[in-house]
Amino acid sequence: MSHFCTATIDTQATACSLPAVEGMSWCTRHNEERIKLYGSYKSWHAALDVAQPLCNMDDIAKCTSIKAIRQWNETVRARYGLVDRCIKARERFTERFFGNDMDFGHRTFWLTLVAQREELERLLVRLEGRGYDVFLESQNAEWLRDRQLEEPACVDCPEPPAACEPPCKPQDTSAQSVELASTIPTSQLDLDGELEWDYIRWTIACYMLPASSRFYEERKRVVEAYLCRVICTDPLLTLDALRFSDVRSYLLAPNHGLQTAQRLRQRLRHAPHPLYRAAVEDVLRPADEGEYGIILGTRLYKVCSAVKFPLHAWGHIFAFTICSDCVRSLCRDVDEVIDSLRYVLFTGNAPFESPASNLDLSYDGMCAMEVLSVCGLVLSFPFPVTKRVTVAKRLQPDKTAVWAEEKRVPLVCAELSRADPNAHTFLSALLRTSLTDPDLSIMVRKARGEPIVRSSAHFVGDSMRTAASLTELRKQPWEPSKICYERLLDEPPAHTPCPGAGPRINFDDMRLAVVDSATRCDESTLLSDLIDIFTRVYGARDLLELCHMIAHVYVVRGELEIAQLKQDPGYPVFLLNCEESNVAYKALWGTVSPWRDLRNRKLYSTVWMSAKDLS
């Protein structure tokens, strides 16, 4: 009586539909495949039997030669690969041709192989750790070990331009039918490993600028420095990278393996954000005699330099993350905060997070917060923005009711750059304006430790009055709030980084607090008055010209690059910070990417009302 072949044709356990050969459990094709697979399986066992002897834990602990440790590591890793292939080959062979029916003898041997693999894993961990220590000692870079501790992730980080979640894969390899039996034990591992490494190369390409940018090569060096710093956070990756002389040969090498790729991908996904700035500094700083380590031909410096970041350097950082709070936590002074905000508002390559996002603070068709940020004011609202006057009935501790009326005045705090002459001119003009406007109260502290300059002896703030009834409330006098407004110039601003983004540095900058107690005034009116003063300081006719005058300085320096394709009204004025993924992959690696990225590159709002040539 004829019966069907019992072999499966894919990893989904789909049964073969062909009739089996008489006296056998498989069809002709699968019987030939079984014989070839068994021969391949035996060849791996033969290679395992003649594998080189291994080192032991005592030898590893005493070894001080990185060359010897690397040789041992390669030997152990090769042995581990053979054992792993034998285990997977036996599993695959049994699953495909015997329905997972493994007898006692085969299962006992299989468990022996599993125990051997676990022992090799422990040996690899010890080798990697010892090799990591020896490498750092040889480089006099033990400080790299201290940088391994990962900081908590920012809880509200938006998706960066090069997200570590994969796009659409070229094909689903899990359901592929395996045609050649001789490659069944290895093909899936090799294919998965190559896909992982190709995805890492795709991620690296997503960090890149358009090839037409004058900063393309600089961005490439920054990305390489960032990758090297990520590698140095892991002993396995560090030891593996010592076999190569540069980053490109490391990423294009065909024999890394799946485990190394998965480890690198995880490290890239969870890299602490201080590495972003460190990588930029590694490239932009002069080649001095500072303490550094070298890996993959790239210098990684221990101490940050005093080099001032140009505006385009913030594009490098925004290529890694577009979380404004994370980027702000990397700023060392208010000048860098202003530059990062200007880069965002000029190019639209990252979102602008306003501290007053719940308010409609528009002026002359433009966002007042955005315009003032471009002008160099880092604004904050220290108290919640609510109604000007509120009346509420409150219950006292003795259970008696009392009516309270609070009158709030619009209050805005700001930080300014001490190095910007226009900021000093703005402050002088603001103080002169307060002399003619009795409702305007200003406090200024020009540097840490300096006395506070006031526009008047009394800083008009919030006030309150209380009474037992609503009728009596109108007759009561106003009492000033007990808030110490002077502390606003000494404390960090209210708009601090989000949890996990790191502490904010207490900058030695100019700070001011402005209130307007006029009945007609609110936050929008107050900000509009500040914009009018900036317009007079720069001599601009309107807000658009004001923003163009500020941006033109960076265009002349070459820090902002005008896009060449401007016939499309929806195209941004300035060059993209990160090229479209498939185009970037082709430019960087010289081949077509097998990944299909179906996501659209998101551009965020800018300060511009319309595209205008700044050249």
Sequence-distant (≥ 6) Cβ neighbours of residue 146 within 8 angstroms: none
For 610, which DSSP code? S
- Highest mean pLDDT out of 70-79, 303-312, 548-557: 548-557
- Highest mean pLDDT out of 214-223, 355-364, 408-417, 550-559: 214-223
Mean pLDDT of 572-599: 80
Among the ranges given (186-200, 296-310, 367-381, 601-615), the one the predictor scored with the smallest mean pLDDT:
601-615
Band (pLDDT 50/70/90 cuts) for residue 611 is: very low
List the one residue out of 412, 477, 396 whose CA is nearest residue 444.
Answer: 412
Q: For 306-331, what is each residue's pLDDT tens digit?
A: 788 999 999 999 999 988 888 988 88
- Highest mean pLDDT out of 20-29, 542-551, 567-576: 542-551
Return the bridge partners of 402, or none: 394
For 467, which DSSP code? E
pLDDT in the model for residue 525: 82
- Highest mean pLDDT out of 146-160, 208-222, 403-417: 208-222
- Highest mean pLDDT out of 20-24, 442-446, 461-465: 442-446
Bigger pLDDT: 231 or 116? 231
In this predicted structure, the answer to whether residue 97 has a pLDDT above a threshold of 60 is no
Sequence-distant (≥ 6) Cβ neighbours of residue 543 within 8 angstroms: 363, 364, 365, 366, 371, 531, 535
Mean pLDDT of 65-93: 78
pLDDT in the model for residue 215: 95
Q: For 400-436, what is each residue's pLDDT tens digit?
A: 888 888 887 888 888 899 889 999 999 999 988 888 8
Mean pLDDT of 132-147: 78
Is residue 94 helix, strand or coil? Answer: helix
Sequence-distant (≥ 6) Cβ neighbours of residue 338 within 8 angstroms: 373, 376, 378, 417, 420
pLDDT in the model for residue 495: 42
Buried b (16+ CB within 10 A) or exposed e, 228-242: bbbbbbbbbbbbbbb
Q: At what angle do helices 368-375 and 523-538 cross, to 10 degrees?
A: 40
pLDDT in the model for residue 1: 46
Q: For 435-449, what is each residue's pLDDT tens digit?
A: 888 778 888 888 877
Backbone angles phi, psi at 244, to 5 degrees: -125, 155
Q: Please give the Cα distance from 301 to 290 (Å, whole number).
A: 7
Helices (H) and strands (E) in the chain, counts: 20, 13
Q: At what angle do helices 66-97 and 104-139 cross, to 10 degrees?
A: 150
In this predicted structure, the answer to whether residue 512 has a pLDDT above a threshold of 80 is yes
Whether 151 contacts 274, CB under 8 Å = yes
* % of the chain with per-residue pLDDT over 90: 18
In this predicted structure, the answer to whether residue 63 has a pLDDT above a threshold of 60 is yes
Q: How many CA atoms lie within 13 A of 333 on its CB side?
A: 14
pLDDT in the model for residue 13: 59
493 alpha carbon, distance to own chain's centre? 24
pLDDT in the model for residue 279: 94
List the one residue out of 281, 301, 285, 283 whose CA is nearest residue 293.
Answer: 301
Q: Would you tell me how many other CB atoms lie within 10 Å of the CB of residue 587?
A: 16
Q: Please give the Cα distance from 569 to 240 (Å, whole number).
A: 49
In this predicted structure, the answer to whether residue 359 has a pLDDT above a threshold of 80 is no
Q: Would you tell me how many other CB atoms lie within 10 Å of the CB of residue 306?
A: 7
* % of the chain with per-residue pLDDT over 70: 70
Q: Please give the Cα distance from 560 to 558 (Å, whole number).
A: 5
pLDDT in the model for residue 229: 93
Bigger pLDDT: 163 or 563? 563
pLDDT in the model for residue 277: 92
Beta strand residue intervals within 297-451, DSSP E: 298-301, 362-363, 366-367, 378-380, 389-395, 401-407, 411-416, 440-445
Q: Provide the mean pLDDT of the chain.
A: 77
